[in-house]
Copies of this chain bind each other. A is one copy, B any other.
């Protein structure tokens, strides 16, 4: 059975995963330090880049393994809110989005799909988490579906009990404000078997596997 997985989801010591106001210059809404130990070049496997293979790298590189599609919220795709005004803009990542699979973008505002040469495509969908997951499974060709964030998207999928695996990373910084995945999720940990470990960088990696 294909799984629904969250990978490399960074959380501050005070529980935030993004700043409150996202702009074109500030894709994490001012909380860019959450990604200070993250190297986007290594998430496809430990061989992709000729840099030391650290524990952080081995753990974050599971991101792409066996993934056939991603689901993300509109806030991860871009800073726009309300009806789309500039459809020329094709996401933060330029011509080479790292996903290399179909991506379902949750939004209340319909828009044409976008495709890239490297296998990435964005499909804009207004749906409940369960229906969005069904759509993503169709696109994933039997492989696993990644829930890519942001915080309010991961929160919805946890609330609907649709997450099988979650790799959270605690970053040793205090943000003071921002968007959290935890609002309204008291006791969510009881549905999971959880283990954690530390690395030299000061990150703490948490692996949550849903109990069967």
Which A residues contact B (CB, under 8 angstroms)?
Answer: 1, 3, 5, 45-48, 50, 52-55, 58-59, 61-62, 65-67, 143-144, 165, 167, 193, 195, 197-200, 205, 207, 209
Contact = CB atoms under 8 A, between A and B. Distances in A.
Contact of A59 (B59, B67, B143, B144): B59
Nearest to A144: B47
Contacts of A47: 3, 65-67, 143-144
A198 B193 CA distance: 17
A53 B62 contact: yes
Given A52-B165, A52-B209, A53-B165, 5 more contacts: A47-B66, A48-B66, A55-B195, A195-B200, A197-B198
As for how many copies of this chain the complex holds, the number is 2
Contact of A66 (B1, B5, B45, B205): B45
Contact of A54 (B46, B48, B53, B207): B207
A164 to B, nearest CB: 9
Nearest to A53: B165
A207 B165 contact: no
